[in-house]
Structure 1
């Protein structure tokens, strides 16, 4: 779940993006994973889904190599777009922190 206020809006990066509604300081924990609420599918379960369902999970989720399963988050973190110059990063496979100060309204 988010530890900061965010919203989803149109994005130039990927159509829909996640934007902060507050100033975030470098090193601040902005998101903590809630595994009990997220969807986890084995490769076999994923293969049983129809093509549209697979495409949705591939777009909004990811394959977790460490855990060997497909992951789809239950909340708006799925709108967090991938950028070559990222302003956040995963720590300990459990939470996201800011790599630098992030201004209010920034994607």
Structure 2
């Protein structure tokens, strides 16, 4: 669950991204796992979903760090956070996300997916622009 005001807009990285709606200070907590709001779904359940929903879960979920058989699907703008090898946030705590530096209003929030998804790899043919 995002803890700061955000909005979704076109991204220079890929498709759309999530952007800070106001300035955020360095070290600020911007996200926390909220199982009452962030949907946890068992991997076995995905196969029984209609194909469009399977695609949605595949695109927007990641393994729950405390139980890799569960997937997290965020319901808010957090699901639109794009990957960067040089992110402006950090997710080394599986239950919380923080800024690495001050972030200006209108700046895209980025994270390194590998910090919370040990299976993450950039798919062949996918171009990720490094966010500055």
Q: TM-score, normalised by structure 1?
A: 0.88
Aligned to 1:41: 41
Is 1:84 aligned to 2:101, yes or no?
A: no
Is 1:3 aligned to 2:7, yes or no?
A: no
Report the alpha carbon displacement of residue 64 of structure 1 after superposing the two structures with TM.
Answer: 2.6
Tell me the number of residue pairs that the alignment of Structure 1 and Structure 2 aligns: 107
The 1:2/1:70 distance shift into structure 2, 3 A limit, reads: closer
Which aligned runs of 4 or more in structure 1 are off by greater than 4 angstroms? none
Counting only pairs closer than 5 Å after superposition, residues 1-107 of structure 1 correspond to structure 2 as 1-67=1-67, 68-107=69-108
Instruction: Name the SS of the counterpart of 1:14 in structure 2.
Output: coil
The 1:62/1:12 distance shift into structure 2, 3 A limit, reads: same
Q: CA RMSD in A?
A: 1.6
Report the alpha carbon displacement of residue 79 of structure 1 after superposing the two structures with TM.
Answer: 0.7
Q: Greater relative contact order (Cα 8 A, min sep 6): structure 1 or 2? A: 1
Check the 8 A contact 1:46/1:70 in 2, yes or no: no
